[in-house]
Amino acid sequence: MKRTVAIGLVALTLGLPLGGWADDGQQVAYGAGSALGTLVYAPVKASFCILGAIGSGFTYMVDSKTAGKVAQGSCGGTWVITPSAVAGKEPVRFVGTTQPRDGERKVASGIPERSGARR
């Protein structure tokens, strides 16, 4: 009985802020969908990140840069499902990006390429 009451109070507490800013039922549904989606998605994402970190540790023995990419790919990306993601306005990226950041361009040797430099 106490458990049922506790679950009800948690559900009521989560539902109160949603009702205050909602103009219609659709926003409430997006908020509820994002909360439920995050409850399901986050443990799966955390497991993937942990396994990626273990794999990254083994990869580090061979190549540290590749290990960083493995860690970034497995632990990067989306961690929380937002109402915008439920509405389809924003993508959910399970795997993070391993692309270089803007302005960083590397050649095959791994040495950053300078613009205007001759070879």
* Residue 114 lies inside a defined structural domain of this protein: no
Q: Which helix (H) or strand (E) holds 68?
A: helix 64-75
* Residue 113 lies inside a defined structural domain of this protein: no
* Residue 119 lies inside a defined structural domain of this protein: no
Domain that residue 83 falls in = 2-87
Cβ atoms of 27 and 21 within 8 Å: the answer is: yes
| CB burial of residue 30 (10 Å; 0-12, 13-18, 19+) | buried
Domain total for the chain?
Answer: 1
List pLDDT tens digits, range 50-87. 999 999 999 999 988 888 899 899 999 899 999 999 98
Among all chains, which residue has been given the structure tokens 């950041």?
A: 101
**Residue 9 has which token pair?**
């109070």
Model confidence at 110: pLDDT above 80: no
List pLDDT tens digits, range 1-60. 766 656 665 655 665 555 555 567 888 988 999 999 999 999 999 999 999 999 999 999
* Residue 96 lies inside a defined structural domain of this protein: no
Q: What is the pTM of this model?
A: 0.61
